[in-house]
């Protein structure tokens, strides 16, 4: 169990910004893609705490579950018109105990090879959608269930371009940037194959201090990968993600947003186009209750990875020779999924009796 905990802590700094992002995404889904009943709830929240108390009522009767847990697959894709726009390069499994609120988030590498698909995990949504509309979520859930050996009750897909538009609807975000940086190779959309290499990029610059960022600028701030110095590391990028998400959360939950019908209407329109889910409308109130009771400081995290020699964490996945499948992929160690299944089960149910 000590190695399991070290694996949690090893990736906590990397997963926390993503945890914030997807928790907020859930909250947005419930706020702006609302049934008439939830619209009524929103309008009356400001009248007193009694309405808020009703929202966090422990009763959660409309969500599917197994062993008192609801498992939700969270998918993120870049969107747009470029090649691979519908590949889900962010994949997370969230498992929540409906009785205790115990929450586990497991990050799944996009390059895991799925035998039933004869393709990488991040292609499942794409192939499902090519067969029929809505089939993407179905196939993605099936692929993740195959890998994790856990039932996947629901899926939520986010197009990150919608997140950018939402920031603009909110009037931008105020951000206190701790470290300025310059990125001379920020990719220009649609110019990936420009004949002159310099035409493929633009130079972006951020100064330290309090800034007001619109949607496109905020996305550049969090997506920059080629900054000079320490800001070019994945760690710095994760910190920037956290700053933007928290600033977005503050703006979203401010009274000037919640009590502004036009902003809520615009947000609803944006996320109706940018968010896909198979959570039924009847389950939205329970989903909102579930999100409200989550404590981000007590969320447990895990990741399927290739281990760490320095921390004495054995690998769960390995990268075979590219000649095996003609591309870079990840497979379970010894080609045996049992260790992966056991690892995921241990994380999810470590605070829960096996007899439940």
Q: What is the pLDDT of residues 198-226, one digit of tens each?
A: 888 899 999 999 999 999 999 889 878 78
Residue 181 CA: distances (Å) to CA of 23, 174, 178, 237: 28, 18, 10, 12
The chain-wide mean pLDDT, for the chain, equals 79
In this prediction, what percent of the chain has a pLDDT beyond 70? Answer: 74
- SS3 state of residue 163: helix
Q: Domain limits of the chain? A: 2-162+275-349, 170-252
Residue 1 has pLDDT above 80, yes or no: no
Q: Which residue has the tokens 């194959």?
A: 193
Q: What's the confidence (pLDDT) of residue 2?
A: 56
Both tokens of residue 116?
């039933």
User: Largest Cα–Cα distance in the chain?
Assistant: 64
The predicted-structure confidence for 81-125, as pLDDT tens digits, reads as follows 666 778 887 788 989 888 888 888 787 888 899 999 999 999 999
Q: What's the confidence (pLDDT) of residue 38?
A: 47
Are 330 and 42 in contact by the 8 Å Cβ rule? The answer is no
For the full predicted model, state whether its pTM sits above 0.85: no
Across the chain, the runs of DSSP E, i.e. the strands, are: 69-77, 88-97, 103-107, 113-114, 119-120, 154-159, 173-177, 181-187, 201-206, 209-213, 275-277, 300-303, 317-318, 331-332
Report the alpha-carbon distance of residue 237 to residue 14 in Å, rounded: 9
Q: What's the confidence (pLDDT) of residue 131?
A: 92
DSSP 254: S
Model confidence at 297, in pLDDT bands (50, 70, 90)?
low
Report the alpha-carbon distance of residue 15 to residue 347 in Å, rounded: 15
Q: What's the confidence (pLDDT) of residue 151?
A: 97
- SS3 state of residue 192: coil
283-306 average pLDDT score: 73
Are 17 and 25 in contact by the 8 Å Cβ rule? The answer is no
Across 122-161, the runs of DSSP E, i.e. the strands, are: 154-159
In this prediction, what percent of the chain has a pLDDT beyond 90? Answer: 34
Report the alpha-carbon distance of residue 162 to residue 34 in Å, rounded: 17
Residue 49 has pLDDT above 60, yes or no: no
Q: What's the confidence (pLDDT) of residue 87?
A: 87
Residue 173 CA: distances (Å) to CA of 176, 177, 207, 236: 10, 12, 16, 19
Nearby residues of 122 by Cβ (< 8 Å), 6 or more positions away: 87, 88, 89, 91, 110, 111
- Rg of the chain over Cα atoms, rounded to whole angstroms, equals 21
Nearby residues of 244 by Cβ (< 8 Å), 6 or more positions away: 173, 175, 213, 218, 221, 222
Residue 53 has pLDDT above 50, yes or no: no
The architecture of the domain spanning 2-162+275-349 is 2-Layer Sandwich (3.30)
Pairing of strands 201-206, 209-213: unpaired
The predicted-structure confidence for 127-168, as pLDDT tens digits, reads as follows 999 999 889 999 999 999 999 999 999 999 988 788 889 999
Neighbouring C-beta atoms of residue 195, cutoff 10 Å: 6
Specify the range with the lowest mean pLDDT, choosing from 6-20, 109-123, 319-333: 6-20
Specify the range with the lowest mean pLDDT, choosing from 28-32, 138-142, 296-300, 335-339: 28-32
Residue 237 has pLDDT above 90, yes or no: no
Q: What's the confidence (pLDDT) of residue 47?
A: 43
Q: What's the confidence (pLDDT) of residue 54?
A: 43
Residue 72 has pLDDT above 90, yes or no: yes
The predicted-structure confidence for 329-347, as pLDDT tens digits, reads as follows 999 999 889 999 999 999 9
Q: What's the confidence (pLDDT) of residue 149?
A: 96
Q: What's the confidence (pLDDT) of residue 233?
A: 65
């Amino acid at each position: 169990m000590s190695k399991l905990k070290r694996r949690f802590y090893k990736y906590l700094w990397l997963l926390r910004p993503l945890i914030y992002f997807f928790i907020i995404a859930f909250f947005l889904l419930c706020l702006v893609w609302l049934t008439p009943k939830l619209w009524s709830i929103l309008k009356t929240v400001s009248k007193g705490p009694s309405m808020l108390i009703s929202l966090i009522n422990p009763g959660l009767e409309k969500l599917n579950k197994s062993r008192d847990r609801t498992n939700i697959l969270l998918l993120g894709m870049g969107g747009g018109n470029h090649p691979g726009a519908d590949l889900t390069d962010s994949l997370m499994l969230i498992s929540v105990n409906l009785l205790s609120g115990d929450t586990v988030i497991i990050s799944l590498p996009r390059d895991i090879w799925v035998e039933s698909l004869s393709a990488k995990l991040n292609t499942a949504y794409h192939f499902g959608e090519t067969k029929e509309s809505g089939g993407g979520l179905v196939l993605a859930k099936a692929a993740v269930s195959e890998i994790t050996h856990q039932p996947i009750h629901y899926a939520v897909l986010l197009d990150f371009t919608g997140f950018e538009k939402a920031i603009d609807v909110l009037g931008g975000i105020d951000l206190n940037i701790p470290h300025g940086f310059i990125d001379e190779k920020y990719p220009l959309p649609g110019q990936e194959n420009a004949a002159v290499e310099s035409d493929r990029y633009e130079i972006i610059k951020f100064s330290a201090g309090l800034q007001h960022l619109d949607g496109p600028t905020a996305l550049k701030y969090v997506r920059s990968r080629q900054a000079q110095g320490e800001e070019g590391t994945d760690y710095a990028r994760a910190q920037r993600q956290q700053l933007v998400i928290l600033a977005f959360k503050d703006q979203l939950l401010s009274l000037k947003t919640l009590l502004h019908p036009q902003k809520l209407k615009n947000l609803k329109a944006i996320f109706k186009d940018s968010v896909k889910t198979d959570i039924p409308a009847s389950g939205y109130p329970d989903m909102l209750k579930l999100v409200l009771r989550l404590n981000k400081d007590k969320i447990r995290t895990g990741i399927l990875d290739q281990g760490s020699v320095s921390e004495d964490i054995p690998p769960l996945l390995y990268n075979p020779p590219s000649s095996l499948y003609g591309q870079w992929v990840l497979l379970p160690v010894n080609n045996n999924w049992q260790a992966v299944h056991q690892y995921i089960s241990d994380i999810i149910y470590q605070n829960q009796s096996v007899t439940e």
